[in-house]
Structure 1
Amino acid sequence: MSLSPRYPDTVHYRGLNRPTHIEATAHDLYVEGTIPPEIAGTFYRAVHDPAYVPRFADDNILSRDGMISMIAFRDGRVDTGIRYVRTERFKAERAAGKALFGSYRNPFTDDPSVAGIDRTVANTTPYFHAGRLFMAKEDGLPYQIDPDTLETIGRWDAAGQIRAEALTAHPKFDPETGELFLFGYEADGLASRKVAYYVFAPDGTITHEVWFDAPYAALQHDFAITATHVLFLIYPTIADLEGMKAGGPHWIHHQDEPSWIGVMPRHGTADELVWIEGPRGVHSFHVMNAFNEGTRIHLDQCLFNTNFFPFVMEPSGIDLPVEGALTRWTIDLSQPGAGISSRTIGPFCEMPVIAAADVGRPYARGWYLTVDPTKLTMLANGPGEVVFNCLQRVSFAAGEPDGRIDTLSEGPGLGFNEPVHVPSADPAHGGWLLMMVDRVIAAGHIAQELWILEADAIASGAVARVFMPFTTCEQVHGHWVPHARHAPAAPR
């Protein structure tokens, strides 16, 4: 492993992954079409953009510094802004004028001067609860952000009440109770099996905390809630402590190991946690939804036959064609020994989205990104060379998939980012989707537009497009905050 003198010429630093170092604001953006009046609030986006050349040339995209972006809608006008999250890591490197932290989630590769400094880059998900905006990544605690100015307030541990060393970047919000559900894996240290689970009241106070051991120290990127239970999802991408000490990767995927679902009442105890064994070698990064049907629980997720990240597959010795689909797993709590039944709902799936009001309940629709191979755009975006260019809408009748899938497919030259859903005041209307679109305008040059889509008529295309005044690196996840919850001042 050699030190890197410049940004590496790899997929992690080309195309949309090319560093920009932009911190900026802009107001009254150009809009084509008419913005629906119901779109009144702020779309917060997590963006990754490395502030300094990485220490090692084989660094990957997950190590890049986090940026918080906002796109604010008020009275048909649109303003935007973006800033780096001032993590402890960012501040240490800014003071030194160079990268000090080493390989992805491997503190044994850091410069000795930063020993003990919080390593997280807070680059994955923005979320809002109890009047606070956070930026999160699952390898540390979240950072609180000023929702108006995007200035970093600081690392958030709920005034010392959070004992876990890390919390998920995929929080769950109950649409009826207003509770926030979080968990952290490797909760008491590197490669630990410990998981910490927290429930927060609408006012931000902790009302429930449970610690337990997972079957192994797995990469637990997402989880799920139903109206009555919480589901912890274990797939065999396992922390390799001895490998890390030798300078190797944090994760090795074990194709021969089983997956597991841990099921517990939402306010239950570790003694009530039931582990149900699943298929071997599979992996999922993102959940669409989960819900109860009597004693049965349905879990809809973007499931793959392996961990498809190339920087996980290669050191794991995996050479498989990657296959994936929107998949429903069903378990019966009255017969946990019966295991998991599985069926396919829709084709290749990533970045699933549902309406916030549907979380944990039977639902009528969901959306996700996929790839239309007839319109491929080869552009570094995320950990691969192929961008998502297709948005799918799947529909359900009484919670069951009815086989109807609507499609918006564009390209070549266009790439889609994960959308957010904006509800409508009309219960008969399915609401709106806001989706950032990357457009290749010349070799090596990309422009960005925010598309506003009618959520139940995506094939009709955008009802309005907002032209962005500057291009950012790739978006990871986003979060919609209506003015009813927070009315931020427009950035100037």
Structure 2
Amino acid sequence: MSDIAEVTEKLQPQAEVAFPKVPFFEGPELPCRFEGEVYNCVIRGTIPKEVDGTYYRCMPDALWAPQYEDDVFINGDGAIDAIRIHDGHADFKQKYVRTSKFVIERAARQAVFGKYRNRYTDDPRVKHEIHSTANTHIIFFEKQLLALKEDSPPYAMDPDTLETKAKSQPLLGAYDFHGQYTAPTFTAHPKIDASNGEMMTMGYEARGDGTTDVAYYLFSKEGKKLEECWFKAPYIGMMHDMATTDKWVVFIVPPLQAQSLENLKAGSKHFSWAEDKPLTFGILPRYNPKPEDIRWFTYKNAFYGHTGNAFDGEDGCVYLDAPLTYFNKFWFFPPAGQDPITAPSGKPPAGDAVQSHYVRWKFDPNATDPHVEPVELVNADGEMPKVDDRFVGKPYNTLFLAMHDPTKDNGPVGGVYNAIAKCDVNTGKLVHWSAGDHTAIHEVAFIPRKPDSPEADGFLVTIANRRDTKLSCILILDAQKLAEGPVAIIELPFRLRNVIHGSWVPYTELPSDKDLCDMSGVTDRIRRVYAGKPVTFPKFAA
């Protein structure tokens, strides 16, 4: 007689949910495919009273098996998590963004859209639909959430219900800043200046797939367009992130080059790693920009993923800090020299080739030589850099990184990060806390202890995926005592997929005091009568 394990192995899942047997779709990375909520999560320890707000995070969590086995995991459907922390309690909710893709494929009960950013691999019926999965980042702007994916405008969501705000079909929920944003693409990493609430953003391939056009926009905190400037990039690269200072915006063109139209029509992936292209930077005035104002700088072939911070120097130069790697960290996009149709995705090499170093770039607007060389700030193998949001675009001292435990020779299970580092960018010194070999640590969000606290004085919040228990939890750490580990752990009774990016929103900035979870039947009277601790049996009997 066969037991359940043997029977399960023998019976194959239905084709529409039979995910490929590849690392990004099996084991701890198997899509979760659920929506739900947990009211009053189990908390270990005590949540500091200053931690009062909601941590939103975004992840690609494919609902349907991809039509093509070599499709990349970043094409998964966007699922948004919200962890609302208030009065020492924590509630959790997860909901998918109702993109056009999500709605259509839910009706079809299978994948209808094709490969990541390749319309030629789609079902012809979705030819004119927005292809975004809204799965990369979630930010708070104009009292609403914006779910971001760089191949389309954002999707607006309610911060309490996580409902997608429908605008009109077929642009279900697509947010165009009240008709002011006309580019078809929008970065996953706009920058918000905490001093005035302005948002700097951009879209690349801004006149359609395969174009070198870039569109820069500046919006006031009320959502009014203040600046718009279109210009040409030197080549079509995956301009995933950007940076801002008080006076400048910085555009980064890494050598992940878009495939030719001919290759896309033949079914290739959207990007490939071009070993003959330099890592390229452009600086443009933040205010009153014109296309002819942009200055381009180049380095040798190298990978740039995410921005740490940028600022204006007293010498009139622009400084940009970020991790640097001499290998394509998005190795699921193959080298350009291989056949773009039949070649499998590249794989990360062993050894130091994939090591990251946190470096600083200097751009002189008046320089005659476009070549730039970085200076190492911190020798740390990490990514997902974060700073105190109040110092974005300003001179700063402290950096937070997700990283590999520097005391171990090998990375954790699955090759993901398992430690958090706090780095002094002036001295290069760092302190870290490691979650252990069987836990994956995600990007952190910083929470100031008080609105006027000094830089980096506050708390960190992040998600941890425990491979030993196959469960996820939310960690809260004191940034001033990072090496001591979490002061509180919020437990979840299930596993979440690895996150990409997220944001912390203070409770005072939320548009209402509504509950995150379903409170059907709970009236004001019930809240009033049953507030406080319950009466114990002995007291009741007396």
- TM tier, smaller: over 0.9
2:402 aligns with 369
* 1:296 and 2:317 aligned: yes
1:349 to 379, 382, 386: 382
1:266 aligns with 286
* 1:474 and 2:495 aligned: no
Structure-2 separation of matches of 1:372 and 1:316? 34
| CA deviation after TM superposition for structure 1 residue 335, in Å | 2.3
* 1:162 and 2:181 aligned: yes
| CA deviation after TM superposition for structure 1 residue 268, in Å | 2.9
* 1:180 and 2:199 aligned: yes
| CA deviation after TM superposition for structure 1 residue 20, in Å | 1.5
CA contact (8 A) 1:234 1:259 kept: yes
2:468 to 441, 446, 449: 441
CA contact (8 A) 1:331 1:339 kept: no
* SS of aligned partner of 1:337: coil
1:450 aligns with 474
Where structure 2 has 5 or more consecutive residues not aligned to the other structure, the ranges are: 1-14, 166-172, 339-345, 519-542
AA of the residue aligned to 1:21: R
Residues 83, 5 of structure 1: alpha-carbon distance in 2 compared, 3 angstrom cutoff = closer
Q: How does 1:276-287 map to 2 (within 5 A)?
A: 276-287=296-307
CA contact (8 A) 1:225 1:231 kept: yes
Residues 87, 5 of structure 1: alpha-carbon distance in 2 compared, 3 angstrom cutoff = closer
2:440 aligns with 415
Structure-2 separation of matches of 1:22 and 1:97? 14
| CA deviation after TM superposition for structure 1 residue 128, in Å | 0.7
Structure-1 separation of matches of 2:317 and 2:447? 30
CA contact (8 A) 2:382 2:417 kept: no
Q: How does 1:135-154 map to 2 (within 5 A)?
A: 135-153=147-165, 154=173
* SS of aligned partner of 2:500: strand
Moved more, 340-349 or 297-306: 340-349
Structure with a larger share of its residues in strand? 1
* 1:42 and 2:64 aligned: no
Name which structure has the greater RCO, CA cutoff 8 Å, separation 6+.
1
Residues 160, 449 of structure 1: alpha-carbon distance in 2 compared, 3 angstrom cutoff = same
CA contact (8 A) 2:422 2:432 kept: yes
Larger Rg: 2
1:100 to 112, 120, 129: 112
| CA deviation after TM superposition for structure 1 residue 35, in Å | 0.8
1:201 aligns with 220
CA contact (8 A) 2:273 2:335 kept: no
| CA deviation after TM superposition for structure 1 residue 61, in Å | 0.5
CA contact (8 A) 1:22 1:472 kept: no
- Could you give the per-residue CA deviations for residues 87-139 of structure 1, whole angstroms, max 9, x where no partner exists? 00111111111101111111111111111111110000000111121101101
Aligned residue pairs, count = 478
1:83 to 87, 95, 100: 95
* 1:392 and 2:411 aligned: no
Residues 393, 454 of structure 1: alpha-carbon distance in 2 compared, 3 angstrom cutoff = same
Residues 462, 468 of structure 1: alpha-carbon distance in 2 compared, 3 angstrom cutoff = same
| TM-score normalized by the length of structure 1 | 0.93
Residues 20, 5 of structure 1: alpha-carbon distance in 2 compared, 3 angstrom cutoff = closer
2:457 aligns with 430
CA contact (8 A) 2:299 2:373 kept: no
2:84 aligns with 72
2:256 aligns with 237
Structure-1 separation of matches of 2:311 and 2:337? 34
AA of the residue aligned to 1:247: G
Structure-1 separation of matches of 2:113 and 2:87? 44
Q: Percentage identity across aligned positions?
A: 33
* SS of aligned partner of 1:58: coil
* 1:23 and 2:8 aligned: no
Residues 338, 10 of structure 1: alpha-carbon distance in 2 compared, 3 angstrom cutoff = closer
Residues 16, 476 of structure 1: alpha-carbon distance in 2 compared, 3 angstrom cutoff = farther
2:329 to 260, 285, 308: 308
2:427 to 386, 402, 410: 402
CA contact (8 A) 2:65 2:111 kept: yes
Structure-1 separation of matches of 2:296 and 2:385? 24
| CA deviation after TM superposition for structure 1 residue 155, in Å | 1.2
Structure-2 separation of matches of 1:250 and 1:371? 29
| CA deviation after TM superposition for structure 1 residue 327, in Å | 1.2
AA of the residue aligned to 1:331: F
| TM-score normalized by the length of structure 2 | 0.85
| CA deviation after TM superposition for structure 1 residue 469, in Å | 2.8
* SS of aligned partner of 1:441: coil
Structure-2 separation of matches of 1:344 and 1:124? 28
| CA deviation after TM superposition for structure 1 residue 54, in Å | 1.0
CA contact (8 A) 2:204 2:213 kept: yes
Residues 259, 336 of structure 1: alpha-carbon distance in 2 compared, 3 angstrom cutoff = farther
CA contact (8 A) 2:78 2:134 kept: yes
CA contact (8 A) 1:17 1:49 kept: no
* SS of aligned partner of 2:307: strand
* SS of aligned partner of 2:243: strand
2:540 aligns with none
Residues 196, 148 of structure 1: alpha-carbon distance in 2 compared, 3 angstrom cutoff = same
2:273 aligns with 253
Structure-2 separation of matches of 1:175 and 1:289? 13
1:331 to 358, 363, 372: 363
CA contact (8 A) 1:147 1:488 kept: no
* SS of aligned partner of 1:311: coil
| CA deviation after TM superposition for structure 1 residue 274, in Å | 3.1
- Could you give the per-residue CA deviations for residues 145-196 of structure 1, whole angstroms, max 9, x where no partner exists? 1111111111111232211001001010011111011100011100110111
CA contact (8 A) 2:439 2:468 kept: no
* SS of aligned partner of 1:362: coil
Where structure 1 has 5 or more consecutive residues not aligned to the other structure, the ranges are: 380-384
CA contact (8 A) 1:29 1:79 kept: yes
2:168 aligns with none
Structure-1 separation of matches of 2:334 and 2:355? 14
* SS of aligned partner of 1:148: coil
AA of the residue aligned to 1:217: I
CA contact (8 A) 2:16 2:64 kept: no
